[in-house]
Structure 1
């Protein structure tokens, strides 16, 4: 914004000078600006050129960095002086009626464009633009292909990204995580109070060579069949302890509140036990029975 605001203010000042046709303001502005730039160029050695991170570098490198910073300041000051001098001469000739206002405007526009282009080009160039960057981000990896070969119903836990910010896993699969600005409160409670702890413990043990799938009971409860740790096929770990899409517990453990249910999950064996908030749903007993699943469709 500043790179465009300063030229705009300069144009306003230039219009004022052209309208009044006074050379004195031009001489004062030229002397102050040009003189300041010359002082910077010639007096660069008066500055220390210390950097915030210099203490982390060896002495010889610090000296080289200071010399580079000094050279950059001098080069920038002389370049700026060249632009100022060119603009000064153009405006002076315009006030003396040596060149037309049209020529003045066109040449100044070229100078301003060249200056802005020179400053911006290192930061905004062709490398700053990509064709559909999401295509490379969501491109199918060998790990994705391996998981996709499983046609059953399951969830994927992606360890290569943040659990609550990942977008890749849930692009192709049912995911344990993902991002949304509006959080499901109870699921967020589950993430904060159980899943994050189980996940940290699992990763710590895995780094030591032990894959404790039985220790991630809540993650197993959510039918997390695959754990993804990278893009390679070898970075896919199948969880043999995933509970599946549905199961029937043998024991119901009553809880008096949602908080108590969360706390019970720490020791719950999710394949055989379940909790019920009796204050909300009433007493529930475990039992046995049959479920018959049919399909209805209309012709």
Structure 2
């Protein structure tokens, strides 16, 4: 009970966040990786684990014949009084103990349409929610405590008490979960299959993909970086996720957004879209939805003629304003040294084509009479991606702030990019070794038991 109780209290304090800033700040500053939590309330999963463990152990001790009836009666009395008394305090005095204030209350008070009356009503509602939950919890505690008391008086059997506990747990889980998942959350199969309405512009933008081409679509019908509409139909630039990839977010804010929201398409941002191989831009005009084809789309990969070498991230992102098709790439000095790159040149017949596409393996065929830097319209990610040229591994550098680049020697070559993260291999080996050890322990235990019985 000591370690479970300690974990429950610690997790509860940490879940308060800035409301218990003394411990939250300590963990954020000192404990490794703790600052990676997106929400401090995530730590409450430890409570969800430890409370049932504590409850199961408590029931086992209560059912155990080694404990005297006096010990069981004393434990039941203290548990009922402590928990029930705490709930009664919340029900009767909760309004005086807590102010039920929120960080947003001041905003509501300052609003001309809402004001202090709205905030007072909102706080009353918060108290009522807390009191309703406390009453519900008190009912559950009362039923369980009553069943255990009747077991102690030999009025109920252990099996019947377990059935009662199971029914109460099921009622608790289902009734509480119905607050979040109920009939309003279910839709028909046709609604599910048509979560987003396809427009004629989508059909136009999809026709090349249906023929086997790989390219991206920039959808301006909604915010392209906060909507799931475009990824529903197309390979897109953007989409929605709670955690944004940092560099693509910075790039979009720098070139694709303005003070009024999404920036209109101009020379600078069309170059950014083109380097991400955006072939179609979906937008609206007076005639309706349109899919505008981008003739400047760079394709899946290309060779560049010249380099702009910079020394910092700021210089690199601002240097993208000088892009001009496949004529130029912007690269930091450290990345250039990684490739051991001195010059780059693409002749008029140079080409690099994507011949096989998979999420974890991309195969290209290249041809060029001179050594050159090849830029790939894929996000640079340093962990796990490997590149080979004719089977020999070669380093991948970050180019144009976000993309991948490798040095390709003169001639015709096969280039393969594959995702092989070492952490997955290490984890798989650990899991395999652990499973083998577990199997040996089980077989050893069975052999020992069989031999002992013999």
TM-score range, shorter-chain basis? 0.5 to 0.7
8 Å contact 2:305–2:345 — kept in the other structure? no
Match for residue 14 of structure 1?
59
Match for residue 343 of structure 2?
280
Cα 1:91–1:69, aligned 2, differ >3 Å: closer, same or farther? Answer: same
Higher mean C-alpha deviation, range 34-43 or range 166-175: 166-175
Which structure has more strand as a fraction of its residues? 2
In structure 1, distance between residues paired with 2:261 and 2:102: 41
> Unpaired runs of 5+ in structure 2?
1-44, 109-114, 240-246, 331-340, 349-454
Match for residue 86 of structure 1?
143
Distance apart, 1:116 and its partner CA: 2.3
The alignment yields a C-alpha RMSD, in angstroms, of 4.7
In structure 1, distance between residues paired with 2:201 and 2:52: 53
What is the SS of the residue equivalent to 1:111? helix
8 Å contact 2:307–2:328 — kept in the other structure? no
TM normalised by structure 1 equals: 0.63
Per-residue CA shift, 1:147-173, capped at 9, x if unaligned?
45789988633344546x987657766
Distance apart, 1:126 and its partner CA: 4.9
Per-residue CA shift, 1:116-167, capped at 9, x if unaligned?
222222123355567699844576333202445789988633344546x987
Match for residue 290 of structure 2?
236
Higher relative contact order (CA 8 A, sep 6+): 1
Match for residue 30 of structure 1?
80
8 Å contact 1:7–1:112 — kept in the other structure? no
Distance apart, 1:235 and its partner CA: 4.0
Distance apart, 1:55 and its partner CA: 0.9
In structure 1, distance between residues paired with 2:145 and 2:261: 71
Q: 1:76 aligns with which of 113, 133, 136?
A: 133
User: Is 1:141 the equivalent of 2:199?
Assistant: yes
8 Å contact 2:306–2:329 — kept in the other structure? yes
What is the SS of the residue equivalent to 1:226? strand
Distance apart, 1:46 and its partner CA: 1.2
What is the SS of the residue equivalent to 1:238? strand
Distance apart, 1:91 and its partner CA: 0.9
8 Å contact 1:205–1:212 — kept in the other structure? no
What is the SS of the residue equivalent to 1:10? helix
Q: 2:218 aligns with which of 157, 161, 164?
A: 157
Cα 1:237–1:53, aligned 2, differ >3 Å: closer, same or farther? Answer: same
8 Å contact 2:255–2:268 — kept in the other structure? yes
User: Is 1:46 the equivalent of 2:104?
Assistant: no
1:183-262 matches, within 5 Å, as 198-200=255-257, 213=266, 216=269, 218=271, 226-229=280-283, 234-236=288-290, 238=292, 242-243=295-296, 255=306, 257=308
TM normalised by structure 2 equals: 0.44
Q: 1:121 aligns with which of 167, 178, 181?
A: 178
Per-residue CA shift, 1:182-219, capped at 9, x if unaligned?
xxxxxx89x977x8755447x97986xxx665565625
Cα 1:133–1:10, aligned 2, differ >3 Å: closer, same or farther? Answer: farther
